[in-house]
């Protein structure tokens, strides 16, 4: 006995919207069997009706205005694939929830900025707000954290959350080419946008991390732009020195809730070359969660692309069709923990520091002295080339120390006449 | 507003039963918040009431007879942690389902042998049959396949499914010690049973693979003992030769449903040393699924142990408490595909062959000739030591070929006077 169809409206027919529609058409019969009811697109909305998207849209109601579609009758779920933290995307979701519809979205910026508020609106109307596709593409990481690890107190979650950055760093290591050239290559291949800032400055990863933290720890969603560093300053030298020291450079998002504060940061890291996360290359994403009973769970897969993202969107639709709608962050919005964020300066850990130094008598002693004055202890020191009077790279790693001490030491070093520039990268050993 | 408590009866208080009870006690308040209702143990059953299990059981009804407990009123879910494919474990599950209770079990042998039948009984009564803990310990792999990848046609699933074998193979590689000594060490550490046969002969992995295949492909559960090989015949020599050739030895379960048949096999494999699965060492498990939209998803974590298993058992209880009960294998039991199993002889792929050979004139030519007569083409040939008249190892790898041809070639080689023994291992490049 089949139940009534689940009626879907898709707002936004870019590559993900088109692929989601194609998936629902191709696997319609199987999905109906898995859900006990048909999952049917009934309406779509996009700006340009004439564009050929490679799929037959003739059976669906066409809306110029996504907001009007979200308010229309005869629709059970609105799939928001427009993008952007505010504007039309947000309005479509709010209108759909107010009109008693479930919302499925792939919009990480929207959930990172307004997730708690949208969860409240969804809960008040008894609707679902689902966003599996917003984090780590096709990897079912939201489901794993909210349901699969629901028995655990999860104290840490970290991962490679941006495929563009991971591709660039992997290619820099493989080819020895500098950042700018690899970025340009990624843009040609479609792995990086023409305006790459959202990806390479770490914002996209920080959006995803804020969502992961909320689901993992049962806390309100906090997007914290101030704890975010991108990869623009990482040079080919850094990648080679890291390699020599037994590390790889990865842009990681890291969130911890083991104290009373919420630690949440995105920045390049040196990770041990033999660690599982160091093996995750190119456009792949990885999410690693630490729970008190399950210990460590690692999930790896494609973090972007039309197919994987459509897979995640439709997984959410399958949950709705099966009647399995949960509170957005795994518990009622008014029970979410609003723990205060930890400033980045409270980090404790080891550091990698590369300095461009004019090779003069006494400069190494001055560097060592500046760190030692702050109680920062040096673990390794590399100076390969000697070119008296010329600029040479000097690299050091420290034993674990406080970020505040490291930054004070670095400020003193930057003030030295012989030091031209520096690159500081945190070392994380998971 | 809280709903009524979910009332749990736990049958079997070994390490997993005790840890599950401890988890439910420790995280009771959080679980109630996540589920919208308390999740409460009300009854337990074990043979020895006096044993100290480190947890307070005084609040629970005590049953000597697990089957009587399964029939008793006032219980919503029976958690079966007794073990064994038949006998009391099976009876407890059947009685519980007949009495209108949900069943949660960690029993891979039971589900591998009777999963389809139990799914039918559960569906007829509208109950849930949940078994996340039966495969890959704490990794939420059943949920990922049945729900997270529900939008995909999954065509392949493979993995490291037995922590004991993976520990033994990892230690053999790390220490160079022979199989028997590492097994004895694993027994002392509690990683292997006193009767290790279920693990090291591949049966346990085959139980789990049968369950994974059913969930991945939507087919009936087939445990196929005839396609199972363990690791007893893998020697230290094989592990070193594999290393030299750029491979590692892993016991894998592999299931494919891309044709009209169901391919399902467990045996040692040579996998490329740089592949993700080669990095999964010690007692860790890994499951890798291939879906048509999501591409490849990799899940890694602890495949056994009281904590991870309890995490999976309670995740199932959380699903039941949240009212999220699905058909056991992701679709109605009468819609499950009963595709015929593929015999192992239909495999196509490359092979590693180690021969113990009496070093005599012409023996290498005879070996090469035996393979060439079957159309099997040799890729690499290694003979390190020369000791005329003595036994020396000869190792070769082949280009991809049919298993039937390889076995005919091997039969001819085994018939040679100079060949004392052999070890054949399949090469898999994922």
Interval B364-388: pLDDT, tens: 999 999 999 999 999 999 988 777 8
Report how far residue B191's alpha carbon sits from residue B165's, in angstroms, rounded to the nearest whole number: 9
Rounded to 10°, the helix A108-125/A87-98 angle is 10
CB B387 within 8 A of CB B360: no
Contacts with B312 from chain A: Cβ below 8 Å: 151, 294
pLDDT of residue B157: 98
Q: How far is B25 from chain A, CA to nearest CA, in Å?
A: 11
- Give the chain B residue whose CA is nearest to the CA of A148: B140
Closest CB from A151, A313, A326 relative to B315: A151
User: Between chains, do A318 and B30 touch, taking CB under 8 Å as contact?
Assistant: no
Touching B: A residues 297-326, CB under 8 Å: 297-302, 307-308, 310-315, 317-319, 322, 324, 326
User: Between chains, do A308 and B294 touch, taking CB under 8 Å as contact?
Assistant: yes
Which of B293, B315, B318, B324 to mutate: most A Cβ within 10 Å? B293
Query: Residue written as tokens 């809306």?
Result: A63
Which of A25, A144, A148, A215 to mutate: most B Cβ within 10 Å? A148
Q: How many residues does chain A have?
A: 430
Tokens found for residue B14: 């070994």
User: Between chains, do A36 and B332 touch, taking CB under 8 Å as contact?
Assistant: yes
- Give the chain A residue whose CA is nearest to the CA of B322: A326
Q: State phi, psi for A232 to the nearest 5 degrees.
A: -60, -30
Q: How far is B93 from chain A, CA to nearest CA, in Å?
A: 23
Closest CB from B151, B295, B335 relative to A23: B151
Considering Cα of A303, then A307, then A308, then A310, what sign does the dihedral take? positive
* Three-class secondary structure of residue B286 per DSSP: strand
User: Between chains, do B330 and A34 touch, taking CB under 8 Å as contact?
Assistant: yes
* Three-class secondary structure of residue B358 per DSSP: strand
Tokens found for residue B88: 């009391």
User: Between chains, do A140 and B307 touch, taking CB under 8 Å as contact?
Assistant: no
ipTM of the complex: 0.95
pLDDT of residue A388: 83
The predicted model scores a pTM of 0.96
Query: Residue written as tokens 């049945």?
Result: B146
Strands B154-160, B284-291: pairing is antiparallel
Report how far residue A325's alpha carbon sits from residue B281's, in angstroms, rounded to the nearest whole number: 37
Beta bridge partners of A80: A11, A105
CA distances from A274 to A250, A277, A370 (A): 13, 8, 32
Which of A8, A146, A150, A316 to mutate: most B Cβ within 10 Å? A150
Phi/psi class of residue A227: alpha, beta or left (left: φ > 0; alpha: ψ in -120 to 50)? alpha
Exposed, middle or buried by CB within 10 Å (0-12, 13-18, 19+), for B363? buried
| Residue B128, pLDDT above cutoff 90 | yes
Contacts with A300 from chain B: Cβ below 8 Å: 276, 297-300
CA dihedral B356, B357, B359, B360 (to 10 degrees): 180
Q: What is the pLDDT averaged over residues B378-406?
A: 91
Interchain contact B232–A (C-beta under 8 A): no
User: Between chains, do A151 and B27 touch, taking CB under 8 Å as contact?
Assistant: yes
Q: State phi, psi for B97 to the nearest 5 degrees.
A: -65, -45
Block means of pLDDT (10 residues each) for chain A, 430 residues, are 89 97 98 96 95 95 98 98 96 98 98 98 97 97 98 98 97 96 94 94 97 97 90 96 96 92 96 93 96 98 96 98 94 92 90 94 93 96 83 95 97 95 94
Closest CB from B139, B318, B326 relative to A151: B318
Average pLDDT, chain B: 95
Q: How far is A331 from chain B, CA to nearest CA, in Å?
A: 5
Neighbours of A99 (CB within 10 A): 15
Q: State phi, psi for A401 to the nearest 5 degrees.
A: -155, 180
CB A5 within 8 A of CB A37: yes
A86-93: long-range contacts at Cβ-Cβ below 8 A with a sequence spacing of 24 or more?
Answer: A86/A110, A86/A113, A90/A114, A91/A67, A92/A11, A92/A66, A92/A67, A93/A118, A93/A129
pLDDT of residue A81: 98
Closest CB from B36, B149, B315 relative to A140: B149
Q: How far is B23 from chain A, CA to nearest CA, in Å?
A: 8
User: Between chains, do A33 and B295 touch, taking CB under 8 Å as contact?
Assistant: no
User: Between chains, do B315 and A147 touch, taking CB under 8 Å as contact?
Assistant: yes
CA distances from A143 to A21, A66, A122, A130 (A): 22, 28, 18, 10
Tokens found for residue B358: 């009496």
Domains of chain B and any CATH numbers: 6-134 (3.40.50.720), 141-303 (3.30.360.10), 347-427 (3.30.70.260)
What pLDDT band is residue B341 in, cutting at 50, 70 and 90?
Answer: confident
Report how far residue B274's alpha carbon sits from residue B84's, in angstroms, rounded to the nearest whole number: 37
pLDDT digits (tens, 9 = 90+) for B308-339: 999 999 999 999 999 989 999 999 999 999 98
pLDDT of residue A360: 86
- Closest C-alpha to B69, from B9, B130, B145: B9
CB A428 within 8 A of CB A263: no
Beta bridge partners of B254: B158, B265
Report how far residue A301's alpha carbon sits from residue A313's, in angstroms, rounded to the nearest whole number: 15
Beta bridge partners of A397: A352, A380
CA distances from A221 to A38, A109, A110, A226, B33 (A): 34, 11, 11, 15, 18
Contacts with A324 from chain B: Cβ below 8 Å: 147, 322, 324, 326
Contacts with B318 from chain A: Cβ below 8 Å: 147, 150-151
pLDDT of residue B1: 56
Strands A247-256, A154-160: pairing is antiparallel
Closest CB from B31, B305, B322 relative to A326: B322
Closest CB from B33, B150, B305 relative to A335: B33
pLDDT of residue A389: 82
3-state secondary structure chain A: CCCCCEEEEEECCCHHHHHHHHHHHHCHHHHHHHHCCCEEEEEEECCCCCCCCCCCCCCCEEECCHHHHHHCCCCCEEEECCCCCCHHHHHHHHHHHHCCCEEEECCHHHHHHHHHHHHHHHHHHCCCEECHHHCCCCCCHHHHHHHHCCCCCEEEEEEECCHHHHHHHHHHHHHCCCHHHHHHHHHHHCCCCCCCHHHHCCHHHHHHHHHHHHHHHCECCCCCHHHECCCCCCCHHHHHHHHHCCEEEEEEEEEECCCCCEEEEEEEEEEECCCHHHHCCCCEEEEEEEECCCEEEEEEEECCCHHHHHHHHHHHHHHHHCCCCCCCCCCCHHHCECCCECCHHHCEEEEEEEEEEECCCCHHHHHHHHHHCCCCCEEEEECCCCCCCCEEEEEEEECCEEHHHHHHHHHHHHCCCCEEEEEEEEECCC
- Give the chain A residue whose CA is nearest to the CA of B275: A279
Contacts of A32 (CB under 8 A, 6+ apart): A2, A38, A39
Q: Which residue numbers of A are catalytic? A: 208
CB B287 within 8 A of CB A283: no
Touching A: B residues 358-387, CB under 8 Å: none
Considering Cα of A243, then A347, then A394, then A199, what sign does the dihedral take? positive
Q: What is the pLDDT averaged over residues B238-258?
A: 96
Helices (H) and strands (E) in chain B, counts: 14, 16
Interchain contact B163–A (C-beta under 8 A): no
Tokens found for residue B377: 């083409």
User: Between chains, do A294 and B308 touch, taking CB under 8 Å as contact?
Assistant: yes
Touching B: A residues 8-27, CB under 8 Å: 19, 23, 27
Closest CB from A143, A293, A326 relative to B148: A143
- Give the chain A residue whose CA is nearest to the CA of B277: A276
Considering Cα of B138, then B140, then B141, then B143, what sign does the dihedral take? positive
- Closest C-alpha to A106, from A122, A92, A124: A92
pLDDT of residue A1: 57
* Three-class secondary structure of residue B45 per DSSP: strand
């Amino acid at each position: 006995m089949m139940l009534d169809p689940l009626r879907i409206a898709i707002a936004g027919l870019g590559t993900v919207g088109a692929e989601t529609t194609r998936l629902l058409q191709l696997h319609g019969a199987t999905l109906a069997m898995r859900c006990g009811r048909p999952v049917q697109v009934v309406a779509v909305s996009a700006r340009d009706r004439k564009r050929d998207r490679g799929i037959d849209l003739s059976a669906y109601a066409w809306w110029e205005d996504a907001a009007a579609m979200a308010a229309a009758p005869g629709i059970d779920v609105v799939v928001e694939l427009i993008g952007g933290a505010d504007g039309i995307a947000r309005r479509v979701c709010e209108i759909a929830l107010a009109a008693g519809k479930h919302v499925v979205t792939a919009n990480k910026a929207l959930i990172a900025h307004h997730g708690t508020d949208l969860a409240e609106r969804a809960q008040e109307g008894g609707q679902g707000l689902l966003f599996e596709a917003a984090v780590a593409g096709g990897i079912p990481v939201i489901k794993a954290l909210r349901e699969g690890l629901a028995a655990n107190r999860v104290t840490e979650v970290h991962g490679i959350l941006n495929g563009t950055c991971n591709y660039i760093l992997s290619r820099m290591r493989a080819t020895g080419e500098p950042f700018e050239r690899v970025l340009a290559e990624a843009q040609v291949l479609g792995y990086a946008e023409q305006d790459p800032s959202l990806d390479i400055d770490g914002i996209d990863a920080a959006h995803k991390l804020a969502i992961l933290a909320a689901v993992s720890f049962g806390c309100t969603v906090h997007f914290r732009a101030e704890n975010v560093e991108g990869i623009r300053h990482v040079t080919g030298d850094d990648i080679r020195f890291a390699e020599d020291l037994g590390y790889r450079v990865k842009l990681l998002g890291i969130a911890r809730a083991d104290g009373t504060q919420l630690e949440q940061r995105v920045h390049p890291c040196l990770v041990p070359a033999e660690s599982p996360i160091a093996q995750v290359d190119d456009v792949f994403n990885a999410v690693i969660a630490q729970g008190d009973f399950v210990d460590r769970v690692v999930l790896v897969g494609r973090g972007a692309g039309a197919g994987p993202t459509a897979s995640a969107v439709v997984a959410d639709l399958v949950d709705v069709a099966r009647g399995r709608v949960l509170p957005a962050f795994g518990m009622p919005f008014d029970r979410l923990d609003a723990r205060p964020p930890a400033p980045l300066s409270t980090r404790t850990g080891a550091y990698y520091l590369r300095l461009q130094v004019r090779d003069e008598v006494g400069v190494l002693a001055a560097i060592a002295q500046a760190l030692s004055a702050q109680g920062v202890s040096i673990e390794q020191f590399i100076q390969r080339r000697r070119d008296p009077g010329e600029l040479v790279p000097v690299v050091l790693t420290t034993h674990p120390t406080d970020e505040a001490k490291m930054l004070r030491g670095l400020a003193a070093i930057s003030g030295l006449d012989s030091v031209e520039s520096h690159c500081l990268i945190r070392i994380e050993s998971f």
